[in-house]
Amino acid sequence: MRIAYAGVFVDDQEKALAFYTDILGFVKKVDVPAGEFRWLTVVSPDNQDGTELLLEPNANPAAAQYQKAIYEQGIPANSFVVDDIQAEYERLRDLGVEFKVEPTDYGAYAIASFDDTCGNLIQIQSH
């Protein structure tokens, strides 16, 4: 068994696609109509056959409420691994990404979190 998809609720799929590809560097994998929305996924450019991140519309009121609640509590919606957290922090900050938590070293790992402009906090971490 393996994970095929992980999802993140977004308030605007087109805006999310731009952020996750143009800013974070993911690659669009699937983009097909699904009613009034799209089945829209991105993947790591280094592992294009790996887990796909579904940019899922938060049109369902329960999804929107959940997304808002975890954001307000400072809980990241997803976590991505980076090789050098300080370098990635600086790269993203220079692109205008708003960090809520700057790189913080916890010994065995370091984390930082930022606003993805689509209603989520996203964490990056390095080991």
With cut-offs at 50, 70 and 90, classify the pLDDT of residue 82. Answer: very high
The pLDDT of residue 106 is 94
* CA gap 13, 118 in Å, rounded: 8
pLDDT digits (tens, 9 = 90+) for 14-36: 999 999 999 999 999 999 999 99
- 88: domain CATH number is 3.10.180.10
What is this structure's pTM? 0.94
* CA gap 30, 105 in Å, rounded: 35
Cβ-contact 6, 53 below 8 angstroms:
yes
Number of domains in the chain: 1
Cβ-contact 45, 28 below 8 angstroms:
no
pLDDT digits (tens, 9 = 90+) for 34-73: 999 999 999 999 999 999 999 999 999 999 999 999 999 9
Q: Which domain holds residue 88?
A: 5-126
The pLDDT of residue 105 is 96
Q: In this structure, what token pair is assigned to residue 46?
A: 């280094």
